[in-house]
Amino acid sequence: MKMHAKDFVQMKGIKPIAMLTAYTTPVARAIEEAGIPIILIGDTVGMVEMGFDSTRQVTMEHMEYHVGAVRRGAKKTHLIGDLPYQADRDPETALANAKRLLAAGADSIKLEGPKTEVITYLVENGISVVGHTGLTPQTAKSFKKVGATSSEATRIASEAEAIQDAGAFMVVLEHIPYSLGRVITKSLRVPTIGIGAGADCDGQVLVINDALGLGDYWPPFSKQYAHTSRTIIKVAQQFSSEVESEEFPNNIMQFTGSENS
């Protein structure tokens, strides 16, 4: 059964929340089958799937496309649609764009930074919102860890609290010192979801390409549970040599066990 914002709030302190990103139908289908309760269609899609060097080039049309693809694969999973750069620049624009992502299949909306006016406005209009602080890639100058100085740590902690108080039901904490992740997690009523923010967060999110080892760069805080790029290279090499030797498609029966029409 699909989980809603209040269900995730109730999990705080009871059970860690596992979240993955997804961008396509077959990956979303497999993640749902694995029992992951919440999928983020993040604007990281621009970097890990579209070849952009920042998330700032991602558009609303891109996000609608990917939210729709994920929804067609994962019908019973809570989906968070990410508002891309500038799509949340003021409350009215954010509401119009949030409605587009909901219409594409999202259950809730994520946005970066302490845009409390926008968050409050979305929540007042019945939209469940996920906040995001720490490293916020849409506006960051680099992907380095943030929050190491006490003034930065104080800023990030008060941003997290402001995001919660504006009405967000969950806050993503990205690439901050683990001690800061712990302090923020203890101080909030809503769950924190860490990505490079330590084990004390209420849940963890991984970009699916990082988890799959699909691509050629891995953030230091990520874990590769598979090496999919290496598998693709091996498959492509084997396919190429079988085409040249004419083993494929002649011996296709031995792999599928049934005749393809």
Q: Which span (9-17, 38-46, 92-100, 151-159) binds ligand KIV, by CB under 6 A?
A: 38-46
DSSP, res 74: -
Touching ligand KIV, residues 122-161 (CB under 6 A): 132
Q: What are the beta bridge partners of residue 19?
A: 38, 205
Pick from 8, 36, 44, 106: which binds ligand KIV (CB under 6 A)?
A: 44
Q: Which span (37-45, 113-121, 141-149, 233-241) binds ligand KIV, by CB under 6 A?
A: 37-45
Closer by beta carbon to ligand KIV, 5 or else 38: 38
Q: Which two tokens stand for residue 230?
A: 């290496």
8 Å CB contact between 164 and 184: no
CA distance linking residue 179 with residue 217, whole number of Å? 26
| Catalytic residue chosen out of the listed positions 92, 174, 242, 259 | 174
CA distance linking residue 51 with residue 109, whole number of Å? 24
Count residues binding ligand KIV (CB under 6 A): 12
Element (H, E) at 212: helix 208-212
Pick from 12, 21, 129, 184: which binds ligand KIV (CB under 6 A)?
A: 21
CB count, 10 Å around CB of 101? 28
CA distance linking residue 220 with residue 197, whole number of Å? 12
CA distance linking residue 179 with residue 185, whole number of Å? 10
Build a one-symbol-per-residue string for 185-214: x at contacts with ligand KIV by CB under 6 A, - elsewhere.
Answer: ----------x---------x-x-------
Closer by beta carbon to ligand KIV, 40 or else 166: 40
Touching ligand KIV, residues 154-173 (CB under 6 A): 172
Percentage helix, strand, coil, to 5, in the chain?
Answer: 45, 15, 40
The verdict on whether 64 is a catalytic residue reads: no
Pick from 27, 38, 43, 171: which binds ligand KIV (CB under 6 A)?
A: 43
CA distance linking residue 23 with residue 255, whole number of Å? 29
28 binds ligand KIV, rule: CB under 6 A: no
**Catalytic positions, written as ranges:** 174
| Residue ranges that bind ligand KIV, judged by CB under 6 A | 21, 40, 42-44, 82, 132, 172, 174, 195, 205, 207
